[in-house]
Structure 1
Amino acid sequence: MKNAGKNDISDRRAASADAKAALLNAYRAARTAAEPGRMARQAEREALSTAREERRVERERLKLEEQKRIETEATARQAAIDAAAAAETEARAIAENARIARVIEDEAVRKANRDRRYANRKARQG
């Protein structure tokens, strides 16, 4: 006998309200019973979040340090390249000046030999 009592609308409404109240009370009881576990899970999530944030900050710091190291190495490498280029340019200039000096010296020796021959020829004629 499922529906032994009266089956009026007011009885059905009362039964529905009682059932809703029972469900609400059961939910509240379950929530209070689970409160310590919920707090523990929330604390664990917060700890994980903080640890994750610390790891992210550490990764960014390491990335910045690596980037600075690479930039300083690149700067040093570029300075070495510039110094080598300057030394090579200076060496070329020195070699060019030495070549020019040798050409001028050879020209002077050639002129001196020519003048000596001319003087000898004039001495023989006169």
Structure 2
Amino acid sequence: MKNARDNQLTDRRSAAAEAKAAQLEAFRAARAASEPAQAARQAERAAISAAREERRLERDRIKQEEQARIASEAAEREAAAQAEARAETEAREIAEKARVARVIEDEAARKAERDLRYAARKARRG
């Protein structure tokens, strides 16, 4: 009886070893067969990654152009506002100078009238 058990154990062991070897061989064959497909998938992933990076760079470039355009428009608006403020200040100064000149002219005209009245009064008395 002992012999029968040993045979069964050795049979099982050898069957297990053969199954393991067959699985290992099948794995190696599957890996070798999938090697070209894996290379193709890897190349496809690389192409997708490159396209994604290119799109990201394009988005960044567009964003930078948009920011530059916004900055230049803001600078133009600021320059226009400064020019408008400068023109308004100059107009106020011109108006103030004109008002001062009118006041001086009016004062000179009143003085001239007063002098004429004074001279006429002197001429009547004299």
Structure 1 residue 67: deviation in Å? 1.0
Q: Who is 1:124 aligned against?
A: 124
- In the superposition, the TM-score normalised over structure 2's length comes to 0.86
Structure 1 residue 48: deviation in Å? 0.7
- In the superposition, the TM-score normalised over structure 1's length comes to 0.86
Structure 1 residue 12: deviation in Å? 3.9
Q: Does 1:7 align with 2:8?
A: yes
* Unpaired runs of at least 5, structure 2: none
Structure 2 Cα separation of the partners of residues 98 and 49 of structure 1: 73
**Paired residue total:** 122
Q: Who is 2:30 aligned against?
A: 30
Q: Who is 1:82 aligned against?
A: 82
Amino acid paired to 2:8? N
Cα gap change, 1:65/1:51 in structure 2, threshold over 3 Å: closer, same or farther? same
Which structure shows the bigger proportion of residues in helix conformation? 2
Structure 2 Cα separation of the partners of residues 123 and 7 of structure 1: 163
Across the aligned residues of Structure 1 and Structure 2, the Cα RMSD in angstroms comes to 1.9
Matches within 5 A, 1:27-106: 27-106=27-106
What do residues 32-62 of structure 1 show as CA deviations (whole Å, max 9, x unaligned)?
1111111111111101110111111111111
What do residues 56-97 of structure 1 show as CA deviations (whole Å, max 9, x unaligned)?
111111111111111111111111111111111111110111
Q: Percent identity?
A: 66
Structure 1 Cα separation of the partners of residues 89 and 33 of structure 2: 85
Q: Who is 2:18 aligned against?
A: 18
Structure 1 Cα separation of the partners of residues 6 and 84 of structure 2: 107
